[in-house]
Amino acid sequence: MLQKGRKRFISLQYKILFFILILVLIPLLVVGILSYVKSSEIIRQKVSVSDLNTVSQIGQNLEYMFDFFNDTSLFMMQSSEVRQFLKMKTDEDPIAYNEQKAITEQLLTNLPNMKSFVQSIQLEGLHDNRLNARGKVQPLRPDQISDILARKGQPRWHLNDVVLGNGTKKKVISYEREIKDINNISLSLGVVQMNMDLDAVRGLLESRLSGDIDGYYLVNEQYSIIASTNVNHENLMMPDIIRGSLALVNQQGYLELTIDHTPYMLTYVEIKPLNWHILHLVPAQELLKENQVIPRIIIITILITFIVCAGMAYLFSRQIIIPIRKLSGLMSQVEDDHFTAHITVSGNDEITQLGLSFNKMLERLRELISEVYTAQLNKKEAELKAFQAQINPHFLYNTLDTIYWMSRMEKAFETSELVQALSKLFRLSLNSGREITTVRDEVEHLRHYVVIQQKRYEEMIDFQISVDEETLDCHTVKLILQPFVENAIVHGIEKKGDSGIIRVEIKQEQDLLVFYISDSGNGVDLEEIQHLLEHYGDNNKGFAVKNINDRIQLYFGKQYGIEFMNRPEGTVVKVIQPWIKGEMTHDQADDRR
């Protein structure tokens, strides 16, 4: 069972093998996917262009068929026989009427360019005179004739059901137009209805089908299906998504649409005279059938490459791991205090260098063990000397205490006050050997120092101390204030040669404990001070400043320390430490770092 917090062992050989395989597989997958996407795009582009050419050809054929009907209607207006027939009345001269009707019927039936897709042609005059050519259909109703005349000569195309002479119905595309007298354009002679066989249109569309899943559609300007390769779709409306898309595009092109969660390719061409469209709708997957072989090729390539690379990676990793495992075994012997281990190395790579370094390390380790043994003996001797050194402070305190009482007995009260301040100054400085003290003790230490200095300088220096009450129990590195106050006296007030003020402020700023020591001296050279914070000067110049800064950063971290600022009224030293209250051990100080 694994110990808590201990990571599971994974062999370096497996890590190398895994890394190499990932390094190979990722480029293969990226190249394969990009190849598939790019080839799909190219095939889609080629198929789309080819499909657009096919649909355009169908559109051209239909335009030709529609143009034939329009040209035939113009021919009728220009034909004197047709005009003569439409002007005749059936009851005026029946014989002449029948002769003219036969001539006109023969003319229309035997037109030189008459096409097979023409199902029927019928002329309706305004005097009950009518005729059929090619196919027999029932006459137009009066309301139909009125609707055609109301269009003022504009032709109309529409899907229609005509009744044949035998009474059956047939779906056709009807062309209806008013016939005018070209010699008097305001004179209406009658109407013509020409019917296009819908089977011919379906045949044209079905001839281009590529399978059972695509479809061709002829739709009118309202996107109602006129003709389709699927008869059940005729006379229905195209889906809204197709109608909305076609309303925003050019005369021809192709679109990708999703209908019922299935992607489709829609190719479209506009039939210009009618504003109708030819549409070809095919599932996008059908267009990419040729591209389906690419994923299989990619998978096979990846598998083959994976197997080859796995074998190569195994051999390569094994060649590296064997000497490392030997070295690991020797290290296990060293863990069991067998320091005489030695590895035999050969080669010129990093593993060889590692083996040589291992041998040198063991040799050095044996030397260090010998040195440590000697050091332990020296440590015992040093501890005895350190114990003796502890006696000296107590001797100093006792001596100062004796001098204090003798001064009191001799009524030298000022002397006794100075001796008492000096004794307490030394006692607080030593702090029982601890580096961390409280703001309260540090302020008391400074006050004793100020007592001594005020006896020396009398009214020359005005000492001011301002301490926020909540800071007194905070922790601080000892001996911070006294060195800066001393520097302010020596390098600030004395150098200025005039009386001055030294002010100490201690406060909390956010989560920081901040000391401000300011004086009314001449200021300092900030570049020189910054240099002294990093290096001692000659004759240990700046030792105290660097020592304080180093001790703060040693205990609390590099983000804390000392800043110097010059103001018009003198120098300000800012000492920054973390805000810490309560009990604090050395381990907690280490955590702050």
Least confident of 123-132, 271-280, 381-390, 400-409: 381-390
Structure tokens given for 114: 């008459």
Residue 209 shares a structural domain with residue 282: yes
- Higher-pLDDT residue of 544 and 194 is 194
CA distances from 381 to 376, 377, 387, 426 (A): 9, 7, 10, 28
Q: 325 — phi, psi (to 5°)?
A: -65, -40
Structure tokens given for 172: 């056709």
222 assigned to some structural domain? yes
What letter represents residue 77's amino acid?
M
Q: pLDDT > 90: what percent of the chain?
A: 9
pLDDT greater than 70 at residue 299: yes
Residue 248's CATH number: 3.30.450.20
CA distances from 464 to 214, 230, 519, 562 (A): 98, 104, 10, 21
pLDDT greater than 80 at residue 415: no
Residue 190 shares a structural domain with residue 265: no
Residue that finishes a domain, picked among 349, 369, 389:
389
Residue 175 shares a structural domain with residue 236: no
pLDDT digits (tens, 9 = 90+) for 467-476: 999 999 999 9
12 assigned to some structural domain? no
Residue 180 shares a structural domain with residue 206: no
Least confident of 191-195, 216-220, 352-356: 352-356
Instruction: Compute the mean pLDDT over every residue in the chain, rounded to the nearest whole number.
Output: 79
At 387 the pLDDT is 42
* Total H helices, total E strands in the chain: 17, 17
pLDDT digits (tens, 9 = 90+) for 345-361: 666 666 677 777 777 88
* Across 316-330, average pLDDT: 72
Least confident of 64-73, 207-216, 340-349, 423-432: 423-432
Distance in Å from the first CA to the final CA of the chain: 35
At 412 the pLDDT is 61
Q: The domain containing residue 546 runs over which residues? A: 454-592
Smallest CA-to-CA distance from 253 within 235, 265, 238, 262 is with: 265
At 466 the pLDDT is 92
Question: Is the Cβ–Cβ distance between 563 and 554 less than 8 Å?
Answer: no
Counting the structural domains of the chain, the total is: 4
69 assigned to some structural domain? no
Residue 176 shares a structural domain with residue 219: no
Pairing of strands 184-197, 436-438: unpaired
pLDDT greater than 90 at residue 382: no
Residue 222 shares a structural domain with residue 179: no
pLDDT greater than 70 at residue 292: no
Question: What is the Cα–Cα distance from 502 to 180, expressed in whole angstroms?
Answer: 119
SS3 state of residue 79:
coil
pLDDT digits (tens, 9 = 90+) for 231-274: 888 888 888 888 888 877 777 888 888 888 888 888 899 887 78
pLDDT digits (tens, 9 = 90+) for 384-400: 444 444 445 554 555 55
Residue that finishes a domain, picked among 152, 175, 195:
195
pLDDT digits (tens, 9 = 90+) for 36-78: 778 777 777 777 788 888 888 988 888 888 888 888 888 888 8
185 assigned to some structural domain? yes
Residue 101's CATH number: 3.30.450
Q: pLDDT > 70: what percent of the chain?
A: 80
* Across 445-462, average pLDDT: 79
Question: What is the Cα–Cα distance from 507 to 441, expressed in whole angstroms?
Answer: 15
352 assigned to some structural domain? yes
SS3 state of residue 284:
helix
At 13 the pLDDT is 67
CA distances from 200 to 62, 134, 197, 377, 439 (A): 10, 15, 6, 117, 107
At 411 the pLDDT is 60
305 assigned to some structural domain? no
DSSP bridge pairs for 328? none
Q: Residue-wise over 441-463: b if at least 16 C-beta within 10 A, else e?
A: ebbbbbbbbbbebeeeeeeebeb
At 388 the pLDDT is 44
Residue 184 shares a structural domain with residue 258: no
Model pTM? 0.48
pLDDT greater than 70 at residue 499: yes
Question: What is the Cα–Cα distance from 205 to 251, expressed in whole angstroms?
Answer: 19
Residue 570's CATH number: 3.30.565.10
At 530 the pLDDT is 81
At 520 the pLDDT is 85
Least confident of 30-34, 288-292, 438-442: 288-292
H or E stretch at 344? none
* Across 495-505, average pLDDT: 85
Residue 262 shares a structural domain with residue 240: yes
Residue 115 shares a structural domain with residue 142: yes
Question: Is the Cβ–Cβ distance between 307 and 60 less than 8 Å?
Answer: no
pLDDT greater than 60 at residue 374: yes
Residue that finishes a domain, picked among 175, 195, 215:
195
Residue 124 shares a structural domain with residue 188: yes
Residue 502 shares a structural domain with residue 530: yes
Residue 539 shares a structural domain with residue 562: yes
- Higher-pLDDT residue of 416 and 178 is 178
Smallest CA-to-CA distance from 420 within 401, 395, 446 is with: 401
At 539 the pLDDT is 58
At 381 the pLDDT is 52
* Across 91-116, average pLDDT: 83
420 assigned to some structural domain? no
Question: What is the Cα–Cα distance from 137 to 230, expressed in whole angstroms?
Answer: 26
459 assigned to some structural domain? yes
At 350 the pLDDT is 67
- Higher-pLDDT residue of 340 and 218 is 218
Q: What is the residue-wise DSSP string for 459-519?
A: GGEEEEEEE-GGGTTBEEESS-HHHHHHHIIIIIIHHHTS-EEEEEEEEEETTEEEEEEEE
Structure tokens given for 5: 């917090």
